[in-house]
Structure 1
Amino acid sequence: MEIKLKKTNYVSGVIEVPADKSVTHRAVMLSSLAEGNSTVRNYLPSDDCSRTIEAFRQMGAEIKIDNGSLYIKGAGLKLAKPQNGKYNIYAGNSGTTTRLLSGILAGQDFETVIKGDDSLSKRPMQRVILPLLQMGADIKSNDGLLPLIIKGKTPLKAINYESDKSTAQVKSAVLFAGLYADDATTYKEPVKSRDHSERMLKAFGVDVRVSDNFVTVYPAERLTAQDITVPGDISSAAFFIAAALIVPDSNLTIRNVGVNPTRDGLIEVLKQMGANITLTNMREISQEPVCDIVIKYSKLKAADIDASLVPRMVDEIPVFVLIATQANGITRISGAKELRVKESDRI
């Protein structure tokens, strides 16, 4: 496919961006574990999210797609047992599917094999295996890589786990496993990572308590079905924000963007650099803060970004680097080594 791009004099208008992938994954997972019928509106129909949908279809959830929405009849916290002894789940290139699902499978009473494509098969899984082993699950791997063979246990053992990395995927796996534990499970991380799981667990009726970088989840007997609307993805919005900031005479509005405070690091840094960005029509939808973002062309100055801010903008750093090339001065980013173990080496 050949794409031809022409230089534009300015960027203007009102647009919407695709739905948030992180929220879509979690909405599908918890709706599939709930009792009753949930609706997930404005979901992201990406390959990664499709892997999550197909995995839960295999395990007993009824998921129908109609006019941009998912209609999910949950299987309950105890998923259907496999007819042939074990489930074989293909996660494609989705690290979120693999790691979050591992936490759920740790609390089931059957065996599951998770495989992925060549890229996912090179990504580290030991970070999620370790806490789940401590909780009592039986997990085998290829020296910390896929495939994973997970034999669940009920109940799991509640733990107090302190991670040396701020990663929402590992945190979410432990919290999801905590639903099946014998007591409260607490997770601590160095810097608070994105909190979509904590917010959505609360929406589905789970007792979740948050204090600074600590999250505690209590065992659940059932999840209550919900009507979820997925906001626009700030990572997708970042590219349009970049274009409007660096092209003279631009004035762009992006509607219905999720601005979760654990994901808004890009906005904070750009404002420090002198960006003319305004957040309007602030509201909360399905436990997530949402707004319209107005961006105008701006002359930017360089900034220093340290490790404490990286978790709040980790997915936006590549496009931020492009923006930084147009700023006056030298921009420095430290503590971003997590980018080397994404689906590619983003650095």
Structure 2
Amino acid sequence: MCPVKALIASRRNRKPFVTNILSSGPTPKRFAPLGPLRGTIRVPGDKSISHRSLMFGALAVGETKVSGLLEGHDVIATADALRAMGATIDRTGEGEWSIHGVGVGGLLQPKQALDMGNSGTSTRLLMGLIASHGITASFVGDASLSARPMGRVIEPLSQMGASFTSSPGGTLPLMMTGSLPAVPITYRLPVASAQVKSAVLLAGLNTPGITTVIEPVPTRDHSERMLKGFGAELTVVEVDEERHISIHGDAELSPQTITVPGDPSSAAFFIVAALITEGSDLLIENVGLNATRAGLITVLQQMGGDIELVNQREVGGEPVADLRVKHSRLTGIEVDPAIAPSMIDEFPVLFVAASLAKGRTTTSGLDELRVKESDRLAAMAAALKASGAIVEELEDGLIIEGSDGTPLRGTKDEAIITHLDHRIAMSMAVAGLASKSGVEVDDTRPIATSFPTFEELLRKASS
């Protein structure tokens, strides 16, 4: 059985996520130079859009069809949870899924705890959905997810009437009871977070009246685009340079046919790998280029990266293009903190690019990276230092002195500690391609949460 089919079969049998990924013990691996990256590849579907396709399809009445769905552990966790609350979700082919929804307000009480595995997106957005339903649900997750704070979602959803019993520090395991009817609120985001914004908007779907989120700094807007596509009454207006996003409750969603574009966060690893590997000329097809997600390309181009957007088009309301990336001599820059929300998940691999650039790269305003799957600032600072890079860790960013293209030393007798964080593992795998002796990561299993074909595509691009 292929890995994806095995994963889906195991999840349908409701085996704990920890068993699926972590029971076999760590799988360390050394990533060494493979030569130029050439040819054409296509990365898996966008994770953010995949999650939302399943969720919105589960709230529509009728059949939603999705192609190009990312079939990683995180998205499968979302599918499992929605099945547990009454939606019918079936895989009909490679990346092809059918969702028969229950309608807004139609979610059922799950009979057992919802196992979110490693997926913070699944957890926070599903908490939003449940907040305006009269049901109780328990959320559990793996060790990494259980250490991540949920207070930023709990606060606004509590204002809407939901009640929570969490572990100390506002973490999982967590039990919540939704409110029916919930109370519409106007909520100003204290930090830029698409997940918190989306959770409040999803709660507003089944809440009488108008629920509004005020966003001082723009974040990825897939929820807004897709909710409109499904028929929700949603408006976005600019007031004093802030976005006011309002959703009308008691919504009725209509089923859709969705084509998921390639995930720019997954493409990021191959973009950087091609830029820092001499002789590379790689075409990455069908990459989503939503303006709220494309910050990495802007920054890498500012650093001198040769990235050409080919065949620009729109698919399902989302801008898409093919990216032709060639090896480039990068130059360090001071990254504008205002761009951080549009590339927050891509900073770990940007740090790798900066370590090979000429001169200094300075980043700031990255407090959000402290509360991801790991403390990504501390984890990447330690990992790059162990590989021979010169890095200074700040409270809200890193300062990296680049090697001007000289390969990193690599690791010797020690493995990079990834903290079960898929993006740390893949970023340091990319660093290994531009090292003298290779970089060993302590565990590659978490990569399957977002990019199960990562190593396969790496071999294809370098063969």
TM-score, with length taken from structure 1: 0.95
Distance between the aligned counterparts of 1:87 and 1:207, measured in 2? 33
Q: Which residue of 2 aligns with 1:76?
A: 103
How do 1:110-121 and structure 2 match up within 5 A?
110-121=135-146
Structure 1 residues 268 and 74: alpha-carbon distance in aligned structure 2, compared to 1, 3 A threshold: same
User: Could you say which residue in structure 1 is the equivalent of 2:339?
Assistant: 309
- Report the CA distance between 1:6 and its aligned residue: 5.5
Matched, 1:278 2:308: yes
What amino acid is aligned across from residue 302 of structure 1 in structure 2?
A: G
Superposed, 1:189-338 pairs within 5 Å as: 189-212=215-238, 213-338=243-368
Aligned to 2:425: none
Cα offset, 1:220, TM superposition:
3.6
The structure-2 alpha-carbon separation of the partners of 1:153 and 1:244, relative to structure 1 and needing over 3 Å to count, comes to: same
1:142 to partner: Cα distance: 1.9
Q: State the partner residue of 2:452.
A: none
Residue identity in the other structure for 1:300: L
Q: Secondary structure at the match of 2:328?
A: coil
**1:22-52: per-residue Cα shift (whole Å, max 9, x none)?**
1110100000110000111111111111110
What is the match of residue 147 of structure 1?
173
CA deviations on 1:213-264 (whole Å, 9 max, x unpaired) are: 3211111431100011111111111111112111223211100001110000
Q: Residue in 1 aligned with 2:79?
A: 53
Given that residues 118 and 144 in structure 2 are in contact (C-alpha distance below 8 angstroms), is that contact kept between their aligned partners in structure 1?
yes
Quote the Cα distance in structure 1 between the aligned partners of 2:271 and 2:205. Answer: 38
Match of 1:127?
Answer: 152
1:95 alignment counterpart? 120
Q: Where does structure 1 lack aligned partners over 5 or more consecutive residues?
A: none
Q: Any stretches of 5+ residues in structure 2 without a counterpart?
A: 1-26, 378-463
TM-fit CA distance, 1:139: 2.0
The letter for the 2-side match of 1:250 is S
Are the counterparts in 2 of residues 107 and 156 from structure 1 also a CA contact under 8 Å? yes
Match of 1:340 among 370, 373, 380: 370
Give the count of matched residue pairs: 345
Rounded to whole Å, the distance in 2 between the matches of 1:6 and 1:229 is 35
Task: Indicate if the aligned counterparts of 1:206 and 1:220 stay in contact, CA closer than 8 A.
Answer: no
Give the 3-state SS of the residue equivalent to 1:331 in structure 2: strand
Q: Secondary structure at the match of 1:98?
A: helix
The yes-or-no answer on 1:107 pairing with 2:151 is no
Q: Distance in 2 between matches of 1:211 and 1:223?
A: 22
How much has 1:61 moved relative to structure 2? 0.6
- Conserved? CA contact 1:59–1:80, under 8 Å: yes
Structure-1 residue corresponding to 2:162: 137
Identify if the C-alpha distance between structure 1 residues 250 and 129 changes in structure 2 by more than 3 Å, giving closer, same or farther: same
Could you tell me whether the CA contact under 8 Å between 2:107 and 2:133 is conserved in 1? no
Same amino acid, percent of matched pairs: 47
Structure 1 Cα separation of the partners of residues 119 and 28 of structure 2: 27
Q: Distance in 1 between matches of 2:31 and 2:181?
A: 57
Cα distance between partner residues in 1 of 2:142 and 2:231: 35
Structure 1, 112-121 or 167-176: larger mean CA deviation: 112-121
Q: Which moved more, 1:190-199 or 1:208-217?
A: 208-217
Once the two structures are superposed, what CA deviation does each residue of 1:58-90 show, in whole Å capped at 9, x if it has no partner? 11111110212111111111234338xx65211
Q: TM (normalized to structure 2)?
A: 0.72
Deviations 1:129-160 (Å, cap 9, x if unpaired)? Answer: 01011111122222311222221122211111
Q: For residue 179 of structure 2, what is the amino acid of its counterpart?
A: K
Sort the Cα spacing of 1:14 and 1:118 in 2 relative to 1 into closer, same or farther, 3 A.
Answer: same
Q: What is the Cα deviation at residue 305 of structure 1?
A: 1.4
CA distance in 2: counterparts of 1:80 and 1:205, whole angstroms: 19
Alpha-carbon distance in 2 for matches of 1:75, 1:134: 26
> SS in structure 2 opposite 1:309?
helix
- Given the alignment of the two structures, is residue 185 of structure 1 paired with residue 215 of structure 2, yes or no? no
